[in-house]
Structure 1
Amino acid sequence: MASSGTDSRGSFSLHSYHVSEDLGFILPDPLEDLPPHYQPWLDIALRIPELVHSHELRARVDKMPLLSTSFLCKHKELRLAHLALSMMTMGYVWQEGENNMVEKLPSSLAVPFWEVSQRLGLPPILTHASAVLANWKKKDPEGPFDMENLELLVSLPGGESVRGFFLATLLVELAAVPAIRSIPSVINGIRCGDTDAVVRALEDISLSIQDMNDALKLMQVHVDPSVFYGIMRIYLSGWKDNPCMPKGLVYEGVHTKPMEFSGGSAAQSSLLHCFDELLGVKHEEKGRSFLTRMRDYMPPAHRQLIQDISSQPSLRSFVQQHQANDQLNQAYEFCVSKLLALRNYHINVVSRFITVPAARARQLRNHSQDSEGETVIKAPKALEERGTGGSGIMTFLKTVRDETKDALLTEPSKKIKNHS
């Protein structure tokens, strides 16, 4: 049966998945402005950090007019609207941290946010698709796509660390573009038994995953762990599996009952889902259900791509059938080992930005030390052991890492060092 990813010649192609040749899953050239009707949204969205700091954001949103979304016609307009409304929502909900929580989002924000989300097939909460993939502009349009020449469209409290966090994540997405482009070559190579084509594509994917790992290292340079943990992180938190908001959030004018949505998570990026499906990495039920739920937070076309990759002939079986082909075996093992190294490094990053600051915050609280000037103490206690997406973060990441290791075919390769 031909999938939606099959072109007129019967080959698997990325053409119908909203994947850019140059930018992969990143939205090319996001808009910076909406039609004039929506200026009240942008007037608030572009000032979120200062309005949260002065405790005025909720009051400003409460006075905001309820605007019709019918003048948003183009996809990019909807993406900017989703970004602006979701950032406002996070600021509104978490303005006072864990104190003075709100139970409902006012209709002036909730109704348009719900309508825009429905049209995009995204949930009404901040997602990776908005905060990262659609939240960038170049300072010099002709200049390079790098940290120095990039700026966020909409930001959250946390200063330069917010910029560093979202843009480093964006550059990881950019580094993955050659790998995403090579996926059809692997699938079509398997279909027609062309081992050389599969080897070449796997080598390209391996190099690209290594580049992703290098891009992730920008976090160390551009994000202060105490600012990330103590200030930023709560604004990425959702209202599902969150002890701060056990009932969820009422979207006034949409539903009378509270709704639950997960906060931001690296698992909302389509990249690793694509690699797992391609390379045959299998996840246990608990981890798999969380990862599958995170696909609901991706643009529908990207979700469909992951699904369609999973229904293609198995690469792992293809490699096993060609055991005598050393080149093919080595290319596959090298690719899995690069994915394993990336997951190990991600554990390292999470340790530096969450586990260590959480331990410091606990220590300060337990000893009632004078924590003046200690940013980590401001962090919500409820998130000490959890990811903002609601997962028990370290256990989850180590399980996923070990499952990646299980995809390796040969025992000696399993001795790849784990830096965790």
Structure 2
Amino acid sequence: MHEKYEAEVNKILKKFHISKTCGFALPDPLTSLPEYYAPWMELAANLTELIETHTLRERVMQVLPRSVAVPFCAVSKCLGLPPIIVHADGVLANWRRRDADGPMTIENLDTLVRLPGGANSRYFFLCTVMVEFAAVPGIIGLVKCVEAVRAADEATLKESLLEVAEAIHGMIKALSTMHDHVDPAVFFGVIRIFLSGWMDNPVLDGLHYEGVGDTPYMYSGGSAAQSSLLHCFDAALGIEHDPKHGSFLARMREYMLPRHSEFICWLADGPSIRSHFVSRSTPPESSARAAYNACVSALTRLRSDHIAVVTRYITVQSARARREATSPAGFALAEKGTGGTAILPFLKGVRDATAAALIE
């Protein structure tokens, strides 16, 4: 990293609670809590067994008991998150190193809390956290890009944009490991059910949090759109989405840790990287401009690959469920993502908007 920007980059990362090694993921999350939290920790540790043996309620009611709802909402309020499983819970803070001194590789990682689905469930969350880790150089690169535009430092801007593009390619590689580790049928029929929320969900018309409010609350389920990563790239690169898609993405920021959402705003409000090239009418042969386009192309490829994952893990499985009339819970949610949106039209829309950001 250029020494003249290192202090400012470190300052920004610290301000927005971003790790230089783990990015938005929580560095080495705690594996245990004080004795007071033992009842909840015991439930979490045995959650998969309790669900699979039907020791927990077999049919989910539309009321969350006071003993769970009150502390859950209190903790969520302290964190600035809604009281439902979100990306920050299932991914950013749900990992540990098997060997504390070992590398940050998927072979040396494990989840802290597991859902039904066995190794498929574990690898679903770990593959996702590996995407977060792969993005770290890109997050740092975005901060350097902003500072370089502010200083009219063309050389550093080009170098930093290339670092961002390389990081996005790393994210693409990390995402591809999902195909090696997670069975589509298990994801669709088992894992996905536990990530679904009660907004735009035909199975539940909201959930009443006993002791917290008098009416049911509506929340979206865990979704890749709750990861701050793509929001950051969009904000920094000046990628604008269709109002309908943009409004959903904006709502997903409410499901992020507040400092991470504020970082996205910091990028959006800072000197515009895209305007730097467009307003200056840089020549097509400009190497910095080419580096910007490399970022946009990589981001378009990442979104295309995500569409391929969704097609294999949701669309194809949904069609199979229709033919076989199986997995009723999964079928009820088949046309929407766990975040509550019509998934393929949404993903194709944001992918196409990304591709349109290329500077001719």
Give the TM-score of the pair, scaled to structure 2. Answer: 0.95
- CA distance in 1 between counterparts of 2:11 and 2:292 reads 20
The answer to whether 1:304 aligns with 2:262 is: yes
**Aligned mate of 1:148, from 97, 107, 112:** 107
Compute the displacement of 1:345 (Å): 0.2
- CA distance in 2 between counterparts of 1:361 and 1:381 reads 6
Compute the displacement of 1:409 (Å): 1.1
- CA distance in 1 between counterparts of 2:69 and 2:16 reads 29
- CA distance in 2 between counterparts of 1:303 and 1:26 reads 14
Q: Is the 8 A contact 2:70 2:211 kept in 1?
A: yes
- Aligned CA distance change for structure 1 residues 400 and 12 (closer, same or farther; 3 Å): farther
Name which structure has the greater RCO, CA cutoff 8 Å, separation 6+. Answer: 2
Deviations 1:257-308 (A, max 9, x none): 1101100100000000000001111011111111001001110000000011
Compute the displacement of 1:37 (Å): 1.2
**Aligned mate of 1:316, from 259, 271, 274:** 274
Compute the displacement of 1:190 (Å): 0.6
Which residue matches 1:240? 199
Q: Is the 8 A contact 2:9 2:140 kept in 1?
A: no
Which residue matches 1:88? none
AA aligned to 2:263 is L
Which residue matches 2:75? 116
The answer to whether 1:346 aligns with 2:310 is: no
Which residue matches 1:364? 324
- CA distance in 2 between counterparts of 1:270 and 1:308 reads 13
Count of aligned pairs between the two proteins: 354
Which residue matches 1:74? none
Deviations 1:357-408 (A, max 9, x none): 100111112xxxxxxxxxx635432211100000100000000000001101
Aligned pairs for 1:194-213 (under 5 A) are 194-213=153-172
- CA distance in 2 between counterparts of 1:9 and 1:182 reads 12
Which residue matches 1:183? 142
AA aligned to 1:174 is F
Compute the displacement of 1:174 (Å): 0.2
What RMSD over aligned residues (CA atoms) do the two structures have, in Å? 1.7
Unaligned regions of 5+ residues in structure 2, if any?
A: none
Which residue matches 1:32? 31
- Aligned CA distance change for structure 1 residues 361 and 38 (closer, same or farther; 3 Å): same
**Aligned mate of 1:402, from 342, 352, 358:** 352
Compute the displacement of 1:137 (Å): 0.8
Unaligned regions of 5+ residues in structure 1, if any?
A: 1-5, 59-95, 366-375, 411-420
Which residue matches 1:48? 47
- CA distance in 2 between counterparts of 1:170 and 1:210 reads 15
Percent identity over the alignment? 48
Compute the displacement of 1:47 (Å): 0.6
Compute the displacement of 1:12 (Å): 7.7
- CA distance in 2 between counterparts of 1:141 and 1:279 reads 36
Which residue matches 2:230? 272
Which residue matches 1:331? 291
Compute the displacement of 1:11 (Å): 10
- Aligned CA distance change for structure 1 residues 8 and 212 (closer, same or farther; 3 Å): closer
Deviations 1:98-134 (A, max 9, x none): xx44110001100000000000101100010011000
AA aligned to 1:384 is A
Deviations 1:175-196 (A, max 9, x none): 0000001112100111111111
Q: Is the 8 A contact 1:250 1:257 kept in 2?
A: yes
AA aligned to 2:267 is I
Deviations 1:65-101 (A, max 9, x none): xxxxxxxxxxxxxxxxxxxxxxxxxxxxxxx4xxx44
Q: Is the 8 A contact 2:84 2:197 kept in 1?
A: yes
